[in-house]
Structure 1
Amino acid sequence: MPSPQKVIVIGAGIIGASIAWHLQRKGAEVTVIAGKIGGVATPNSFAWINASWGNPEFYFRLRHRSMAEWSRLAAEVPGLPLSWCGGLSWDLPEVELDAYAAQHHGWGYGIQPVNRATSAMIEPSLASPPDYALHVAEEGAVEPVAAAALLLEDAERHGATLLSGVEVTRLLRDNAKIIGVETSQGVITADHVVLAAGAGTAALAASVDIDVPLETPPGLIVHSLPAPKLLNGLVMAPELHMRQTAEGRIIAGSDFGGTNPGDQPEKAAAELFAKVRAALKGGEALTLDFHTIGYRPTPKDGFPILGGVDAVPGLYLAVLHSGVTLAPLVGLLAAEEILDGCKAPQLSPFRLSRFD
């Protein structure tokens, strides 16, 4: 029997965790290296699982398939904190909502227009239900840090190695091929290295002269103290996207990714939370606990960067802003590409080479 392939995964957010879990399930000898479990961007995510908004069809298809892969993953990892709670949206003018609904309905997305009465039935705690909105019952949310931790615990239980609190300082190569990494605890060798390090990806790729064109826009998210149930699902109102977490916190941003808080983040957080309280019946009882400012790793054209890099065999990139939605599918396809040497057709639009 051939020896298992050794794979290092740099990053323990939801993407790194999913790739590591799928690699281990396929028989690889996996080492995950990360500053902390859950990563940096993942804890600041709104964690909306969807195929909504602004998608060309090829990207919609990828996201929609990954929604189904979340159900598959939940069946394989008991206790995964996943909820198909549905999403109610009215954050665009009605004419744009109609065009969006027609397009996505034509692609097979389960999207339905609803009136004020139905919106109030879906979300009874809304202080001002919209006269017209779109509802997608198949959308959902996951608690991303808990999900990443569960995936890593399961992978570790089945033989993966998890190195938390360890810094990767550079990638190592012999001639062109990647042979491992240098870390704060020494050199670790491998047959493949997966860069799923979010905003840290560009600097590590640059250590082997690979340019990864990333932007890292900041996003403000506010978090309430745990509260009695006020929201059934995801709410995307104009300049206010909200959901309630499994532990009862209302989390919200000006949009699902959060927006730039400017040079007065405390003031911006207070103003945003005031909108949350005003938007909900009983919202006056909510208390702001904390806010986060996440720096979202976003490729410059807005689409994921996924796949091997021809110039440096052995390096695999996984950088994407829609990390929560795409995590289970990316994990599945990345493991197949790395270990089987195949190229998934679904990932062909997302190679780094498109920037050449």
Structure 2
Amino acid sequence: MPSPQKIIVIGAGIIGASIAWHLQRKGASVTVVAQRTGGVATPNSFAWINASWGNPEFYFRVRHRSMAEWSRLKKDLPDLPLSWCGGLSWDLPEAELDAYAAQHHGWGYGIQPVNRATSAMIEPALANPPDYALHVAEEGAVEPVAASKLLLENARHQGAILSPGVEVKGLLREGERIVGIQTSEGAMRADHVVLAAGAGTAALAASADVSVLLETPPGLIVHSRPVRKMLNGLVMAPELHLRQTMEGRIIAGSDFGGTDPGNDPQAVADDLFAKVKATLKGGEALELDFHTVGYRPTPKDGLPILGGVDAAPGLYLAVLHSGVTLAPLVGLLAAQEITEGDEDRDLGAFRLSRFA
């Protein structure tokens, strides 16, 4: 039998963890290298699993498919902290909500208009339920750091090597091919290198003369101290998106990507948390525990960058903002492409070559 392919995955957030887990299941010899288990962007994620809002149809199809892949992953990992809790949205004018609902319903999304009474039944803790909203029962959320660690630990039990606390300084290149990485602990060689380092992707790719057009907008999210159950699902109100974690924390941003903290993050966090308290019955008892500021790795055109790099064989890129929604599908398809060598048609629109 041929030796298993040696693959280094750079990054231990939700994307790197999913790719590593799926590669290990494919029989590869996997080493995960990262400074922090659980990633950098992942701990600051709102962690909404959805196929909502502003997507061209081909991207909607990919996102919707990945929602189903989360259920497949849950069957393999029953302890995955995943909840299909549904989402209630009224953060657009009614005419825009109607247009969105008509389009996505036509694409097969389980979206339903609801009135004030139904909104109050779905989320009884709302102090002022909307007169008109949209409800998608099939949307959900995951606790992203716990999910990442579960995937990595399961991969480790299957033989993967985890190297946390290691700084990757650059990619190793021989001729055209990427043959490994240079780290704070020396060189590591591999047949393939998967770059899933979030906001750090562009700099590491540049070390091998590969240009990745990436933006990293900041997003502030507030986290309450754990409280009794107040929310059943995701709530997307105007300028306020919130949900309750499995730990009992209410987390919120001005949208699911978080609030730009400007020059005074604490003041922004305090103002945002005041909105949270006013939105919920009994909200006056909520206490702000902390806020996070994450930098969302977002390719220049907003779509993922996934796949091999023609100018640098041996390198596989996986950088995207919709990391939580797309993680299980990206992991599945990336593992197939890397180990089998066949490009997946569903990922054709997401290659780095589109920027050429």
**TM-score bracket, shorter-length normalisation:** over 0.9
Residue 77 of structure 1, CA deviation: 1.0
TM-score normalised by length of structure 2: 1.00
SS at 2:337 equivalent: helix
SS at 1:60 equivalent: helix
In structure 2, the residue matched to 1:56 is 56
In structure 2, the residue matched to 1:332 is 332
Offset from partner CA, 1:97-145 (integer Å, 9 cap, x none):
0000000000000000000000000000000000000000000000000
Distance 1:78 1:124 in 2: 29
SS at 2:31 equivalent: strand
Residue 282 of structure 1, CA deviation: 0.7
Question: 1:15-164 residue pairs with structure 2 within 5 A?
Answer: 15-164=15-164
Distance 1:194 1:313 in 2: 11
Distance 2:158 2:333 in 1: 20
Distance 2:57 2:212 in 1: 25
Question: 1:256-275 residue pairs with structure 2 within 5 A?
Answer: 256-275=256-275
Offset from partner CA, 1:70-101 (integer Å, 9 cap, x none):
00001101200000000000000000000000
Question: 1:163-182 residue pairs with structure 2 within 5 A?
Answer: 163-182=163-182
In structure 2, the residue matched to 1:212 is 212
Distance 1:353 1:180 in 2: 22
2:53 partner letter: W
1:261 partner letter: P
In structure 2, the residue matched to 1:249 is 249
1:203 partner letter: A
Offset from partner CA, 1:41-74 (integer Å, 9 cap, x none):
0000000000000000000000000000000001
Question: 1:313-352 residue pairs with structure 2 within 5 A?
Answer: 313-352=313-352
- Unaligned segments of structure 2, at least 5 residues: none
TM-score normalised by length of structure 1: 1.00
List 4+ stretches of structure 1 deviating above 2 A: none
Residue 259 of structure 1, CA deviation: 2.1
Distance 1:4 1:52 in 2: 39
In structure 2, the residue matched to 1:200 is 200
2:34 partner letter: A
CA RMSD of aligned residues (A): 0.4
SS at 1:181 equivalent: strand
SS at 2:293 equivalent: strand
Distance 2:26 2:167 in 1: 26
Residue 173 of structure 1, CA deviation: 1.1
Question: 1:266-285 residue pairs with structure 2 within 5 A?
Answer: 266-285=266-285
Offset from partner CA, 1:273-323 (integer Å, 9 cap, x none):
000000000101100000001000000100000000000100000000000
Identity percentage over the alignment? 80
1:5 partner letter: Q
SS at 1:12 equivalent: coil
In structure 2, the residue matched to 1:304 is 304
Distance 2:79 2:269 in 1: 32
- Unaligned segments of structure 1, at least 5 residues: none
